[in-house]
Structure 1
Amino acid sequence: MELIKSDVTVIGGGIAGICAAIAAARNGLKVTLINDRPVLGGNASSEVRVHINGSAYHGISPSYYAREGGLVEELKLKIFHYNPLYNKKIMASVSDSVLLDMVYGEPAISLFLNTSVYETGMENGRIGWVDGLQLASERRLRFESPYFIDCSGDGVVGYQAGALYKRGREAKAEFDEDLAPDTADHYTMGDTILFQTRDVGYKVPFRRPEFAYDITKLDFFDSIRRGLNYRAIPRKINGIGGLWWLEFGGHLDVVRDNEDITLELRKLVYGIWDYIKNSGEFDDVDNVILDYVSPIAGKRESRRFVGDYMLSQKDLTEKPYFPDAVAVGGWAMDLHAARGIYDEGPATAWNFVPGLYNIPFRSLYSANVPNLMMAGRNISATHVAFGSTRVMATCGCMGQAAGTAAALCVQYGVNPSALAANHAPELQAALLRDGQTISGRREEPDPYFAEGLTVRASSQRAYSNAVGAEAVSLDKSLCLVLPVHTEHVESVSVRVRNQGAAAETLFVQLFGGDRKETYIPGSRLRSSSVDIAAGFDGWITLPLDCSKPADDKLYIVLEGTEQLAVYCNDDQLTGAVSFQYQPEVPAKLKKWSRNICFKDLLPAQNMYEPANVVNGYSRPYGLPHVWVSERTEGQEWLELAWASPRNVEELHLVLNPRLDLEHFNDPIETLIKDYDVILSLADGSQQRIEVRGNYLSLNKHPVGMQGITGIRFEFTATYGSPYYEVFAVKLYN
């Protein structure tokens, strides 16, 4: 038995475990990371091949700017940088190497792959050690540390330690959840084996293996046929991951019955592929091969441990204030059919979540095992709330929170429960410093740097979008959302066209919103109408005459006829958003790619001023909170200066990575690629930091210098945007 000692032991090398280990290591701890598979990534690895989804909810989140920050953001940007085809599920092994590189890049992390934890030792009610076995190397290992973070999905350590847990669905009355069943049961979400196909350019036959099903003889064959959607499916699955709804096992014990569930899914995968290839029901499949079938089932749900707080449905929909908020979620409450493919109902129910919500630290540690934290799909949440928190990007945010918390627990020598009670602000400050998103929280500017500070820039983008590229018909209602910071708003101009032979009426509805983190119209402020003459093509002024709403955003809904159109373009104006107005479908607010043109908003809004970079926000929240340059093809600069010298240990630059996107197949055009940092010193000298080929949104620069009187950023290239955009400049001493 080999003894491995560290400050914290993380069990599970999925996205949650990776983020927990890296966060702990970067905050000064010696870390052990144990994974029972040969690769990192869990369900996002090359073995299972699930996308890293999260709060951006496929890019249609009502919060719009909803993609996570922190380590999950770094991980996603690095995967794309090294594997631009990742989102198309090609070269998945490259993504494995990126995750390994991130972990191996932290000297304080000791990684143990192919290591299964088979026993947990308790000492005075605390976890003292866990024992692991590496079969291939014939090593038995004992891992000791004062704190443990269970990111194993199934919660193997928590279970062995006797931590309180739940399994199945809670009754409706237990947590007052209308999405829960009337009576509690043992049903969980099932497992899926994903597969990948590829067109090889010549005819390739397929013969069904003997163990696989002839799916035409199954009782639920008609349901499978409907799911395959007949002739569309071969094109859909060519080159990407296979059928997420091919799910089984939620009515069984997904831990104990793991092997039986996996075998059943294999029978279904090869049987379905046999039907696609050989039934004659599908076009264009002769040259398509079954290129990859996952060797293991991707799990959705098993044990959920009980913490000091159990996150439930109303926490996601009503968003109460959590003094210990440490991470965000935003995926729908995605509740799958209990019997999976055998269920007669729909595969899942996408229950609406109104944008970003916060997750409290009290849901990330055990209520009865004092030195155990958890992150991932095993946190303290009801089955209904878990339907949202279980996706991997959200799991990664929780992992970063747990790893950072471990560092503070070591620093103060306290249990996680005491940390939540007495040091939550310090935990939040550490997370915000490292780019974690906590909805509604900002970093309080340090008075040491704020006093006597002036911020200037070479230029500033006007708050307008005046170049109309296309007239879009108002046969469907469109909404223009304009953040405003003045207490009263008078009017705005839009460009319209009436291509009919008679006058048409443009109806205008004005709404206010309630929550700064979302783009959801709330109370109606006023309605009006404007008659548009036949053949008119030009700008009109819309009277607004209203006070600033609670969420700092005005929602201007334009309604008309097929003959009436408003001009739009593809220009991204951070903060100002346009969407098709569908009040009956609030989850689809963003499903539109154009932006309504506007100008002459009165009174004028100084929206993109340089001082925004030091206001404590690192993303839009009500207002855009960003500096944007004028349109340029050359160099622009941003400068901070003090009357008296300052000492700077570290400098962070936060750029705009298009937080409205969940995934991206092209470089993010708004990211600044090339820039220099020029540090001016009190003795008249300068130091320069050159950055070329940047692809990250959070750039940390160790400075470690005294007597700085000015910091100037010279920006020379983006990935395609004609504007330079900076959310924040953060300084630490």
Structure 2
Amino acid sequence: MEVITMELIKADVTVIGGGIAGLCAAIAAARQGLQVSLINDRPVLGGNASSEVRVHINGSAYLGKSPSYYAREGGLVEELKLKIFHYNPLYNKKLMLSLSDTVLLDMVYAEPNIALYLNTCVHETGMENGRIAWVEGLQLASERKFRFESRTYIDCSGDGVVGFQAGAHFRWGREAKHEYNETLAPEVADHYTMGDTILFQARDVEYAVPFKRPGFAYDITKLPFFDSIRKGLNHRAFPRKINGLGGLWWLEYGGHMDIITNNEDIALELRKLVYGIWDYIKNSGEFDDVDNLILDYVCPIPGKRESRRFIGNHMLSQNDLIDKPHFEDAVSVGGWYMDLHAAKGIYDDGPATAWNFVPGLYNIPFRSLFSQNIPNLMFAGRNISATHVAFGSTRVMATCGCMGQAVGTAASLCLKYEVDPADIAHAHMEELQALLLRDGQTIVGLKEELDPYFADGLSVSASSQRNYENLNPTEAIPLDQGVCLVLPIQTSVGDSVQISIKNSSEHTETLHVKLLGGDRKENYIPTSLLKEYNVAIAAGHDGWITLDLGCVKPADDKIYIVLEGTESLAVYGNEEKITGAVSFLYRPEEPSKLKKLGKSICFKDVLPAQNMYNPENVVNGYSRPYGLPNGWISERTEGREWLELSLASPKSLDEIHLVFNSQLDLEHFDDPIEPLMQDYDVTLTFEDGTEKGISIRGNYQTLNKHRVDAQHVTRIRIDFCATYGSPYHEVFAVKLFAPSNDMRGQVKS
């Protein structure tokens, strides 16, 4: 009888789990030069975002409704989302998801430092002196057995299989309210988690197709929840259009059980429900236009929300998400609402979920990403050190990916200094944060200081600069519902601004003006009333008026101008987008939850004058709006525009990084990302007058890195040739890195 031989695989770091968290951890580590073993127990990468499970990669942008507005994550998550969109624009309609699998595989295969082991299940973890010494995996189809050895292990398996086998401390279920002083927690702790969901796909085949319910499936008309879903109660409502339906997130089950031990029982129950629901849709006669629909796909495995959560040196809680304390070891961001699903899922009498407000982006500390008792274990994804309540926000995949990038990068410092993650938190956080920022990671409040080597005597110029105004009124927006124009300002005070108003009535109308301010630069949340007054708008008036501001710049660098009136009053707007200055509907009962207006309110002549889109902004250390827009924007043009950086003396230049505007207010994309730079040229001028050029065509990424390995550089010029539709050319940051810099650029808050 042939015995399966154990194959020994040695690497610098072993990552368990090929979902979005594990993918980002592996790529981050590999790009820092580490040899990586990436183990995934499924045939495809992506975890819940794969073609097997088919959940969208959501995150801190909260479906484009984040109160931080410019909230989508940066870094590797941004890279992979834009790559998926570029190669698969139908992804957001849950079509052609196999192509998305290919994109993720392509990202891994592009990294020579990653050895990928698909269909490999980790079944045993070996310990020596309280540390993980190895993990063993079995690849059933190939009948191969592996032992993986490395200095550091990163558990991104979701259920925390390696951490559990290693004896890492973990939590399960809901903490009691008193444990972390969380208002959303239950009075008494329990073992309830969130349940699983099996998604499915409906498709129109353009001819009638009958459906017969299989014998194992339920007749859902006889189940206790039927009246609730038929009436659309408790969030459990059918969409109006069934064609293209990508499943029902609320078709959930199992949180009241052991979600791991009872995995197969839960999956079977969900299949009974899916086919029973489809029988009801097809055969009840209560749905229109379903004769030609087929059940095109039913996910073979459930999408799992929650199971084990490991205990780190900090347990992230509800109060961390709401109050946002300063974390010296902040390494990534979140921002999804605390989305707490009913434990019994569809069988629960209450709402399917409770959407609990999170006031914009918050930071996640590194101490929540490594084990309290296993020194060489880190984790990222839905198994991090967070309470059940905080987990309701951190569990979404884009947030998980940012945490993955953080721990993958941290693994490189563990190797560099031959230390464990806790030592990185204690002694090397500034270096870790600098590495993360360099690679596009967002950490609220941190900026990259330009290396003094380049900064001394640097001058930045541009072909043109957009004025801080939004002219050309094209649409009258009635003021019977209040609207809000948010104006970032640079100066210490704001004096006045002009807006365009129309009074369609035959008598004078009253425009009520409120000026509000906020207290956090990352947010678009007004928190205090600065002043309010009325303006009489004469009958028939149609044109510009001056609004008195007369206020000191608020802590968040923004003045919120709320306009309220009657149906006869309207403020003019247009379709133009102007970074930083955005417009909302105003709901006085919920001022912290501004809703996008969908139009931009016109304004001009802000006084004092604001030099808002100065080309020097590209080296101010920020790579996205934070209080101020923090970018250069050209005038409206159909021609070429340029930025130029002139150095005081010849410099050695290792890399240039360019950060473009990819509409960070959106979660997903259905149309071209218009302001993104598509074509551009970079020209280096040397001390002797010679030049070296780089030509980029068809860019689709936010962060573009160019390795130049050049000496005696005196000038860097970037010529912009084409966007994806915007008449403005926009750049958030130009980063310069010297050879052997060893992170000389400082991180500052």
Q: How far does residue 356 in structure 1 lie from its aligned partner after superposition?
A: 0.2
Question: 2: CA distance between counterparts of 1:430 and 1:527?
Answer: 46
1:615 is aligned, of 611, 617, 620, to 620
Match of 1:673 in 2: 678
Alignment map for 1:340-379 (pairs within 5 Å): 340-379=345-384
Alignment map for 1:154-165 (pairs within 5 Å): 154-165=159-170
The gaps in structure 1 that reach 5 residues or longer are none
Residues 1:216 and 2:216 aligned together:
no
Question: 2: CA distance between counterparts of 1:479 and 1:682?
Answer: 51
Question: 1: CA distance between counterparts of 2:597 and 2:391?
Answer: 29
Residues 1:628 and 2:633 aligned together:
yes
2:494 is aligned, of 489, 492, 509, to 489
2:560 is aligned, of 555, 562, 583, to 555
Which secondary structure state, in structure 2, belongs to the residue aligned with residue 710 of structure 1?
strand
Distance 1:286 1:442, change over 3 A: same
Indicate the percent of aligned positions where both proteins have the same amino acid.
Answer: 74
Q: How far does residue 225 in structure 1 lie from its aligned partner after superposition?
A: 1.6
Match of 1:83 in 2: 88
Structure 2 length as normaliser, TM-score? 0.97
Match of 1:387 in 2: 392
Which stretch shifts more, 586-595 or 263-272? 586-595
Which secondary structure state, in structure 2, belongs to the residue aligned with residue 675 of structure 1?
strand
Determine if contact 2:170/2:309 at 8 Å carries over to the other structure. yes
Match of 1:404 in 2: 409
Match of 1:69 in 2: 74
Determine if contact 1:206/1:274 at 8 Å carries over to the other structure. yes
Alignment map for 1:671-710 (pairs within 5 Å): 671-710=676-715
2:303 is aligned, of 277, 298, 303, to 298
Q: What code does the residue aligned with 2:511 have?
A: L
Determine if contact 1:480/1:555 at 8 Å carries over to the other structure. yes
Alignment map for 1:649-660 (pairs within 5 Å): 649-660=654-665
Question: 1: CA distance between counterparts of 2:27 and 2:342?
Answer: 35
Question: 1: CA distance between counterparts of 2:83 and 2:462?
Answer: 30
Determine if contact 1:655/1:728 at 8 Å carries over to the other structure. yes
Distance 1:232 1:168, change over 3 A: closer
1:94 is aligned, of 93, 99, 102, to 99
Which stretch shifts more, 544-553 or 580-589? 580-589
Q: How far does residue 444 in structure 1 lie from its aligned partner after superposition?
A: 1.4
Determine if contact 2:243/2:290 at 8 Å carries over to the other structure. no
Question: 2: CA distance between counterparts of 1:688 and 1:266?
Answer: 58
Match of 1:311 in 2: 316
Which secondary structure state, in structure 2, belongs to the residue aligned with residue 174 of structure 1?
helix
Match of 1:21 in 2: 26
Match of 2:743 in 1: none
- Measured against aligned partners, the alpha-carbon deviations of 1:495-521 in whole angstroms (never above 9, x if no partner) come to 000011211000100011100000001
Residues 1:130 and 2:135 aligned together:
yes
Q: What code does the residue aligned with 1:109 have?
A: I
Q: How far does residue 232 in structure 1 lie from its aligned partner after superposition?
A: 8.5
Match of 1:337 in 2: 342
Residues 1:473 and 2:478 aligned together:
yes
Question: 1: CA distance between counterparts of 2:574 and 2:235?
Answer: 37
Q: What code does the residue aligned with 1:698 have?
A: L
Alignment map for 1:214-613 (pairs within 5 Å): 214-227=219-232, 233=238, 235-586=240-591, 588-613=593-618
Q: What code does the residue aligned with 1:399 have?
A: G
Which stretch shifts more, 463-472 or 234-243? 234-243
Question: 2: CA distance between counterparts of 1:592 and 1:143?
Answer: 53
Which secondary structure state, in structure 2, belongs to the residue aligned with residue 29 of structure 1?
coil
Residue correspondences, number: 733
Question: 2: CA distance between counterparts of 1:22 and 1:447?
Answer: 30
Query: Which portions of structure 1, spanning 4 or more consecutive aligned residues, are displaced by more than 3 angstroms?
Result: 227-237, 585-588
Determine if contact 2:456/2:648 at 8 Å carries over to the other structure. no
Q: How far does residue 488 in structure 1 lie from its aligned partner after superposition?
A: 1.3
Determine if contact 1:172/1:182 at 8 Å carries over to the other structure. yes
Question: 2: CA distance between counterparts of 1:577 and 1:188?
Answer: 39
Which secondary structure state, in structure 1, belongs to the residue aligned with residue 606 of structure 2?
strand
Q: How far does residue 586 in structure 1 lie from its aligned partner after superposition?
A: 5.0
Residues 1:9 and 2:9 aligned together:
no
Which secondary structure state, in structure 2, belongs to the residue aligned with residue 538 of structure 1?
strand
Which secondary structure state, in structure 1, belongs to the residue aligned with residue 596 of structure 2?
coil
Determine if contact 1:234/1:283 at 8 Å carries over to the other structure. no
Match of 1:726 in 2: 731
Q: How far does residue 179 in structure 1 lie from its aligned partner after superposition?
A: 0.1
Determine if contact 2:500/2:572 at 8 Å carries over to the other structure. yes
Determine if contact 1:608/1:628 at 8 Å carries over to the other structure. yes
Q: How far does residue 237 in structure 1 lie from its aligned partner after superposition?
A: 3.7
Q: How far does residue 589 in structure 1 lie from its aligned partner after superposition?
A: 1.4
Distance 1:343 1:663, change over 3 A: same
Which secondary structure state, in structure 2, belongs to the residue aligned with residue 173 of structure 1?
helix
Match of 2:745 in 1: none
Residues 1:111 and 2:111 aligned together:
no
- Measured against aligned partners, the alpha-carbon deviations of 1:326-351 in whole angstroms (never above 9, x if no partner) come to 00000000000011000011100000
Distance 1:389 1:662, change over 3 A: same
Question: 2: CA distance between counterparts of 1:130 and 1:318?
Answer: 39
Q: What code does the residue aligned with 2:688 have?
A: D
Question: 1: CA distance between counterparts of 2:246 and 2:49?
Answer: 12
Q: How far does residue 220 in structure 1 lie from its aligned partner after superposition?
A: 1.9
Which secondary structure state, in structure 2, belongs to the residue aligned with residue 158 of structure 1?
helix
Q: What code does the residue aligned with 2:651 have?
A: R
Which secondary structure state, in structure 2, belongs to the residue aligned with residue 528 of structure 1?
strand
Question: 1: CA distance between counterparts of 2:76 and 2:20?
Answer: 10
Q: How far does residue 228 in structure 1 lie from its aligned partner after superposition?
A: 8.7
Question: 1: CA distance between counterparts of 2:412 and 2:657?
Answer: 21
Which secondary structure state, in structure 2, belongs to the residue aligned with residue 525 of structure 1?
strand
Question: 1: CA distance between counterparts of 2:666 and 2:601?
Answer: 19
Q: How far does residue 226 in structure 1 lie from its aligned partner after superposition?
A: 2.8
- Measured against aligned partners, the alpha-carbon deviations of 1:538-585 in whole angstroms (never above 9, x if no partner) come to 000001111111110000000000100000111110000110011433
Determine if contact 2:640/2:719 at 8 Å carries over to the other structure. yes
Determine if contact 1:134/1:140 at 8 Å carries over to the other structure. yes
Which stretch shifts more, 226-235 or 64-73? 226-235
Distance 1:429 1:349, change over 3 A: same
- Measured against aligned partners, the alpha-carbon deviations of 1:53-107 in whole angstroms (never above 9, x if no partner) come to 0000010100000000000000000000000100010100000000000000000
Determine if contact 2:371/2:377 at 8 Å carries over to the other structure. yes
Question: 2: CA distance between counterparts of 1:17 and 1:467?
Answer: 48
Which stretch shifts more, 233-242 or 125-134? 233-242
Question: 1: CA distance between counterparts of 2:676 and 2:231?
Answer: 42
Q: What code does the residue aligned with 1:112 have?
A: Y
Q: What code does the residue aligned with 1:393 have?
A: A
Alignment map for 1:634-649 (pairs within 5 Å): 634-649=639-654
Question: 1: CA distance between counterparts of 2:398 and 2:552?
Answer: 37
Question: 1: CA distance between counterparts of 2:135 and 2:306?
Answer: 23
Distance 1:587 1:268, change over 3 A: farther
Determine if contact 2:527/2:592 at 8 Å carries over to the other structure. no
Determine if contact 2:235/2:353 at 8 Å carries over to the other structure. no
Residues 1:35 and 2:40 aligned together:
yes
Which secondary structure state, in structure 2, belongs to the residue aligned with residue 76 of structure 1?
helix
Which secondary structure state, in structure 2, belongs to the residue aligned with residue 72 of structure 1?
helix
Match of 2:153 in 1: 148
